[in-house]
Structure 1
Amino acid sequence: MAVVPGEPVALAPAAFRCPPTGTVVEYEAGRTITYLAQEQPDACLITNGARTQSMIYNLIPADRRAADALRSVLTKLWPLQVGKAVISERDPFLTGNDDIDAKFVTGVNETITVLRSERLITPAGTFDTYVIERAYTSLYGDSAGRYYYWYEPKNGLVLKGLYERDSGVNKVRAPNMTAQRVQIGAARSQ
């Protein structure tokens, strides 16, 4: 599946910001995210359905095993501007439970790039966005793929997400999503 670029738009370099408190984004399949607060300079506190969690740069859950490593890499990506890229190589680490047979070693090379700026048209409205690609390859070459995020800098929103797996047996961790409705604070989008 190829990601087809939308209409190009000119965007100034954008500092990170969380959406205003009370912002609600509804995605297809009933997924709803509500923004509660800017928890840290680089993290938004959200509810995702019934779950409350912190999102680093509004892209990656802070409770993921590799979140701290990705946080230091993503810090270098902001302010966003087209062509900016950062590289992360996470060393192998053990995962699994205490049963040694259930543990395995993994590691990942990631390149995160601001590919372009484009106008995104969704059922929630039309937005000027940066398209961010997060490409990964396991250190052992057994899996590879890409996440794409359409980040709208005016309100700090991720309005679309897409996952493509090139190879491997890892399962999709984030469903593809497109905003169906956006309510900024108390005002509703187009």
Structure 2
Amino acid sequence: MTSPEALLICGSPSVGSHSREAVATAAECLAELGGTNRIWDLATRPLPILDAARHGRGMHYADPAARELVALADRADVLVLASPMYHGSFSGAMKNALDHLDTPHVQGKPVGVLAHGENLSATQVCDSLRVVVRALKGLAVPDQLVTVPTDFTSTHDGRRRLTSPAARARLTAMSRQLIALSSMPSAVGAFALHGN
């Protein structure tokens, strides 16, 4: 079996965010299990607001970054979506990124969801992301991660590190589910076609 390719999208518009660190740790966990990863950080690679006239025509988007995101999502075997909690849901930056994708880019693929907030009410982000994944006919895996500030420590250079053993264990479990399902695309695809 070839190494599954993962596209991890960080939906925080802030550089060096908690969400970005959680995504980096998720990428490490996937790599340890044999995955290859691409991280799309919306803080450093923002996308233009979706041109509704071009929705569903991803490779024909005028913006080259939007075309690249669509191509990466199309090629990926696995997706990971991470966002901070904004007003009880995921960020506008993440919503815009997901609006650039269409069902064929997600359908039948296992998807992991991550959230960050001041407290565990940020699980609402994961709930909202699962609704979108289902609408795009992807398969959100059972394990997810919600982080809070105490899950992180600051390094001497001011960066954040996800140091919570429980958080790392959840990411490892989620990564195992993503990798396992990516090796069964026909089964996942059939499940996604009939709803999840």
Q: Which has the larger strand fraction?
A: 1
Q: Which of structures 1 and 2 has the bigger CA Rg?
A: 1
TM-score, normalisation: structure 2: 0.31
Q: TM-score, normalised by structure 1?
A: 0.31
Higher helix share: 2
